[in-house]
């Protein structure tokens, strides 16, 4: 009889430690690294290739290089680039955020992004800044500045790019 009382005591102590561990784990998960412990469905949406809207500030909060390609599913150069973007998005998942926006289907998503033709790509470093236009790349880029103060706000490329050109840009954008 005495030994069953001893085991009962150990079971109670184990249960207390289990509860403390569970509460501590829940607290830790809720209070640490919120950008990666968010709703898993939202996280998947943030890293999916096709987008119907762009929240640039949210994308910048992940601390990854960002490529946003504005095009259309029925644009011929865009169609040629589509499999390249899909492959790169799979290959660099979690290392580079790659977004494609069909501006004919989702014109509102392009608000605030200055471009005149499709496809046009926008490049941002892992710090969230536009890629410096003097960065040596195997293609031409254009710097876009604010009229009021001349601050560099976008770096763009107009036209199609190859897988190798994108990968070169990713390295210059701070891909780890």
Give yes or no: residues 107 and 52 share one domain.
yes
Mean pLDDT in consecutive groups of 10 residues from the start of the chain, 176 residues: 67 80 69 49 69 95 96 96 97 96 97 95 96 89 92 95 96 92
Range of the domain at 21: 1-32
pLDDT score of 31: 61
pLDDT tens for 88-105 read 999 999 999 999 999 999
pLDDT score of 20: 83
pLDDT score of 102: 98
pLDDT score of 41: 45
Q: What's the CATH number where 139 sits?
A: 3.40.30.10
Give yes or no: residues 87 and 128 share one domain.
yes
* Total-model pTM: 0.75
Catalytic residues: 75, 78
For the chain, what is the HEC assignment?
A: CHHHHHHHHHHHHHHHHHHHHHHHHHHHHHHCCCCCCCCHHHHHHHHCCEECCCCHHHHHCCCCCEEEEEECCCCHHHHHHHHHHHHHHHHCCCCCEEEEEECCCCHHHHCCCCCCCCCEEEEECCCCCECCCCCCCCCCCEEEECCCCCCEEEEEEECCCCHHHHHHHHHHCCCC
């Amino acid at each position: 009889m005495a030994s069953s009382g001893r085991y009962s005591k150990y079971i109670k102590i184990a249960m207390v430690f289990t509860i403390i561990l569970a509460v501590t784990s829940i607290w830790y998960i809720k209070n640490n690294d919120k950008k990666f412990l968010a709703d898993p469905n939202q996280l998947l949406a943030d890293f999916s290739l096709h987008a119907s809207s762009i929240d640039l500030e949210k994308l910048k909060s992940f601390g990854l290089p960002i490529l946003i390609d504005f095009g259309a599913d029925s644009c011929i150069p865009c169609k040629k680039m589509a499999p390249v973007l899909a492959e790169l998005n799979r290959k660099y998942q979690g290392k580079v955020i790659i977004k494609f926006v069909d501006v004919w289907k989702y014109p509102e998503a392009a608000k605030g992004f200055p471009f005149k033709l499709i496809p046009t790509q926008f490049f941002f470093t892992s710090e969230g800044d536009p890629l410096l236009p003097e960065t040596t790349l195997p293609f031409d880029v254009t710097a876009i500045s604010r009229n009021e103060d001349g601050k560099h706000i976008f770096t763009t490329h107009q036209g199609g790019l190859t897988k190798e050109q994108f990968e070169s840009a990713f390295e210059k954008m701070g891909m780890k």
